[in-house]
Chains A and B, each alone.
Chain A
Amino acid sequence: MSEVLHPGTLDELVDAVRSTQRLLAVGAETKPRLSSVDATKLSMEGLRGIVEYDPGEFTFTALAGTAVREIVAALAERGQYMPFDPMLLDASSTLGGVVASGLSGPGRFRFGGIRDFILGVRFVDGDGRLLRLGGKVVKNAAGFDLPKFFVGSLGRFGVLAEMTLKVFPRPSSTLTLRLDANSIEAATSILLGAAGRRWELDALEIPPGELRVALRLAGPPPALQSIASEILSQWDGQIMARDDSMALWASLGEFAWTHRDGVLAKVVLAPTQLARLHHSLRTLEDIRIHVSAGGNVAFVSLAASVFVPDLDARLRDLGLSGMTLRGIGPLWLGHRRVTQIEGAVKEALDPKNRFPSLDE
């Protein structure tokens, strides 16, 4: 099925869902593996734009097809930002795609991921009903938290049409340090040690290609200098030049460091599992790994020549789970728990199976 539908209004979106037996919403397809299933594609790019934004409320509401880059720019004009650091901005990723993929960037370390900033959604369920759940205010406990459930749901339970997110004031400056580590064990020890301290770090990463920790501070400039000095008295390293640090964060945010072809996967882990993951995967040919969020995520890029089942098997041996974002391979990697409730919730939201299942 190569057909693509292009709704331009919410009414057209509802009609498209009602009149199509099997479909899946897509944005800019920056994580193409997530939507590479046999279904009519529903392009959300016609449903774009910020619907509401009042900086005093710390919230905005935008249509699913809105380019995240546009939102970032609109927020920046008013001194605000999305602290979960959405990725693939230059690649034109959409807000709906960010929510459906559940992908957050390095900045998620400080205040949490996209799940921690979503407040409400409007979506079309499998019966073609346009529904609004959650709320538009920063605090709300009414009804089931379906907005959170949609984070990472890959469009398999409904079509996200519009969402409301919480935002924060943007820190006035950032400062990036590069800390030396000779081994993955030493790097892990920095990650764990630094995360538990008083500094309120903004990001804590092991960029690909080198065993070094990149640590980002955010706040008023004089305070950051003082905290940086304290950090550098504990570990060897240096403050990165502004241009270098900007290039680093841009590269991580756009996955510019990955193999052009081949699989890119997100693997979730606890920091203490990092060394085992590293040792297990390093024998894979030309593997590149970006460890993010203080060691809670690893983005793994394989060369096109690498046999994906090898990665799958190694993750399973480690009891870890992953999801393929790009490249040819199974959607789910490693350990996967199967529950009955998943089928029952799918039935509740999509009784006619209009949307593919998570196993496709």
Chain B
Amino acid sequence: MSNAVLNRLATLLSRTRLLAQPEQLAAYESDGLTAFRARPLAVVLPETADEVIALVRFCHQERLPFVARGSGTSLSGGSLPVAGGVVIALNRLNKILHLDPAQRIAVVEPGVVNAEVSVMAAPHGLHYAPDPSSQSICTIGGNVAFNSGGAHCLKYGMTSNHVLGLKAVLATGEIVHWGGASRENIGPDWCGLFTGNEGLFGIALEITLQLLPKAEYFHTVLAGYRTLEQAGDAVSAIVASGLLPGAIEIMDALALEAAQAAVHAEYPPGCEAVLIVELEGPREVVEVDRLRLDQIIIASQPVEARPARDAEERQTIWKGRKCAFSAVGRLSPDFIVQDGVVPRRKLGEALRRISEMSREAGLRCANVFHAGDGNLHPLILYKGREAGALDRAEELAGRILRMCVEMGGSITGEHGVGVEKRDYLSAMFNAKEIDCMKRLRAAFDPLGIANPGKMFPVTGAPALQQHGLHPLEKAGVISRE
């Protein structure tokens, strides 16, 4: 049966772009959520939008599950293959089709790497705002599917806020065009609905992105505090002041230890928490705002506050922050990262409870998070080889997610539900709400062939097979956020 399907699949694209040998498939069996693995029937490497359309229509006709994949950096297992299904790898659709600096838009194929958009826009004084930590490798197609975030979401929003238009092939084979070069829209916001669909609706083929003028000027401050609570209070004071920083980040002691070991970042000694705040905008505006920010920071009584004096110092601060996740990998062979959200006023309480729960579970937990928008990133460290350790880590992760929902927050701020958190969707939405989402899913994909097994709870989950850092993470190519 499989061979017959493969033979028919082979009529759609050349043999060299149809991978079906076990050694060819191995690299595609997992994504950024390394705990899960599944072997697909085949991986196909289309080079054009028409090939993708033909492949989706083929899958529809054959009722064959398919998973679209970019660089496979999903931390929620969003691009985990379906055993026996097809992986449509979109990396070769990597053209920036159109860059219009005057209207500040770029039309890109799904396999274009996130950072590449800003690189291409830079000579025109523009940039693409969403900046997930994996931006040097993750693709726009994946960003659209999972509505990826980054460190600048409070001010600039998530991927969805930057998608102006889409051409997509839906799981039914229908081709749709929504939105376009205009920043405005009439009628329902289809681009908004499609963004964050986690691959359950179809595949984006052409994405129109808005570009923004690059911020002219930055004021970046790193401040160390004796306690996490003090750092949290400083965040509250900044938010209450009427300033709108581009980023507000906190790292706790364990994360600092890791970053220090990994990139030799130097932090004020004796600190339990480091706060990073960045103002950005026109020079004149930042110069006024920085005076207020500096006063607030001084009043918050840090052990030490270090404003970046130049672009290099700013880069150093951000390097320490962005490498923190992979750095934690040095402290422990295995870890789970969560990205639940709590209301900002509950950050202090949430961190206290995470610390208590980790103690109870006998596990260490590092915290690196987007404090400005309440988006936590607890990293639960465990030893995969120790019997029962993974179970305890997963149980702790689950308790943290439930706590986020109880506090009025969310189970995910930017990583998506995927495979990882599908059992927690019902902590946030009741049966009727999940039914509503399933009806929507069925409208886009009546056969349930587009990325099945993600977002919604299912029975018979894929077996856990492997843990630890992603090979690219070990190589320092990507990092998690």
Contacts and interface: CB of A to CB of B under 8 A. Distances in A.
Given A151-B192, A200-B281, A227-B284, A293 B184 contact: yes
Contacts of B288: 219-220, 222-223
A197 B193 CA distance: 31
Nearest to A340: B174
Q: Which of B185, B195, B197, B432 has the most CB of A within 10 A?
A: B185
Given A55-B240, A139-B370, A268 B184 contact: yes
B342 interface: yes
Contacts of A142: 410-412, 417, 421, 425, 428-429
A349 interface: yes
A228 to B, nearest CB: 10
Contacts of B105: 270
Contacts of B161: 112, 115-116
Q: Which of B241, B342, B344 has the most CB of A within 10 A?
A: B344
A57 B345 contact: yes
Contacts of A1: none
A168 B244 contact: yes
A58 B240 CA distance: 10
B195 A145 contact: yes
Interface in B194-243: 195-197, 213-216, 236, 239-243
A254 B341 CA distance: 38
Interface residues on B, range: 35 or more
B123 interface: no
B189 interface: yes
Contacts of A332: 186-187
Contacts of A60: none
B390 interface: no
Interface string A132-159: 1101111111111110111111101100
Contact of B124 (A115, A170, A196): A196
B213 A197 contact: yes
B14 interface: no
A148 B189 contact: yes
Interface in B426-458: 428-429, 432-433, 436-437, 439-444, 455
A223 B287 contact: yes
Contact of B436 (A199, A296, A349): A349
Interface in A300-343: 321-323, 332, 337, 339-342
B439 A349 contact: yes
Contacts of B345: 54, 56-57
B192 A136 contact: no
Q: Which of A58, A138, A293 has the most CB of B within 10 A?
A: A138
B344 A57 contact: yes
B189 A152 contact: yes
B362 to A, nearest CB: 29
A55 B288 CA distance: 23
A285 interface: no
A279 interface: no
A37 to B, nearest CB: 15
Contacts of A339: 174, 176
B285 A223 contact: yes
11 contacts: A137-B373, A137-B409, A141-B410, A141-B415, A142-B425, A145-B196, A152-B187, A154-B187, A157-B188, A348-B443, A358-B187
Given A135-B409, A169-B241, A341-B443, 19 more contacts: A56-B344, A102-B185, A102-B189, A112-B183, A116-B157, A131-B436, A135-B341, A139-B373, A144-B197, A146-B436, A148-B192, A170-B242, A200-B285, A224-B284, A271-B102, A272-B181, A332-B187, A341-B170, A349-B440
Can you list the 4 inter-chain pairs with the closest CB atoms, starting with the nearest? Answer: A148-B192, A223-B284, A270-B181, A344-B443
Interface of A: 54-58, 79, 102, 104, 108, 111-113, 115-116, 125, 129, 131-133, 135-146, 148-154, 156-157, 168-170, 172, 192, 195-200, 219-220, 222-224, 226-227, 266, 268-272, 293-294, 296-297, 321-323, 332, 337, 339-342, 344-345, 347-349, 358
